[in-house]
Amino acid sequence: MQILSKSIWFPNPNEADDDGLLAIGGDLSVKRLMNAYRSGIFPWYEKGQPLLWWSPNPRMVLFPENFKVSKSLRKTIKSNKFKVKFNTCFSEVIINCSQINRNGQQGTWITSEMVEAYIKLNNLGYALSVEVWFEDELVGGLYGIDLPDKKIFCGESMFSLMSDASKVGFYYLIEMLKQKEYQLIDCQMYTVHLESLGAEEISRTKFLNYLNNK
C-alpha cells in the first residue's frame, strides 16, 4: 500500500491489498480524480479518515443489456408518474445522496470535500447526474463519472425518496448508455441490491481490460 505525495500518480491497481485498498493520501483535485477513474481506482473513505483509494478484486459491474427490469418497475415507467432529467441539478443530487440513511452505515462516505470536488467535476463535464421528479419535487437520482472515450460510466451513488424513483432514473441512464454503445457501468463493490438489478462481479484484470479498450 502506497502513501501518495503531491505529485499526480497512482501505483499499479494490482498492488492493492486483499480488500482492494491501494493507496492513502493525496487530494481530490480534478486531475488526480480523473487520473484515478481512468486507471480503475476510486476514493472511498469516511469523515475523520485519511483519503483512501481503492481498486477491488473482483469488481462489480453492470453490462447495460443485463439490467433487470421487474414487472413493478416496468409498470411504474409506463405510468409516466416520474419525470427524468439529466444534469439539471447535480449539487442537489449529490447532497441528497450524502444525507440518505443506508442500512449498515452509521455515517456517509460522501464528505463535504467529496461534494465540493464532484460538483467541480460536473462543472467541467466529467461528472453526470440523473434526476427523478414527481410533481416538481426532486424524489430520486444518481450521479457518477462519465468516461465517454472508454465507453464506461462509473456509478457513485443514488438516492430515493419514493418507491422506485432511483430505479427509474437508473433505467433511463442505461437506455441512454445503450444508445451510445457503452460497454458497462462500474458499480465498484458488491451489494445484494446491485446484484438484483443485474450487476455481476468480474476480475480486476478483466475490468482493466475493458477500461483500456482491450
Residue 122 belongs to a domain with what CATH number?
A: 3.40.630.70
CA-based end-to-end distance of the chain: 27
Could you say which of 38, 56, 74 is where a domain stops? 56
Using a 10 angstrom Cβ sphere, with 0-12 exposed, 13-18 middle and 19 or more buried, the burial of residue 28 is middle
Same domain, residue pair 37 and 66? no
Q: What is the pLDDT of residues 162-199, one digit of tens each?
A: 999 999 999 999 999 999 999 999 999 999 999 999 99
Enter the pTM of the model. Answer: 0.94
d(CA 47, CA 37): 21
Question: Can you give the residue range of the structural domain that contains 26?
Answer: 2-56
Same domain, residue pair 86 and 191? yes
Same domain, residue pair 72 and 52? no
Q: Which CATH number is 34's domain given?
A: 3.30.70.3550
Residues sharing a CB contact under 8 Å with residue 192, sequence separation 6 or more, in sequence order = none
Compute the average pLDDT of residues 20-44: 97
Same domain, residue pair 111 and 167? yes
Q: Is residue 106 over pLDDT 50? A: no
Split into its structural domains, the chain has a count of 2
Same domain, residue pair 23 and 75? no
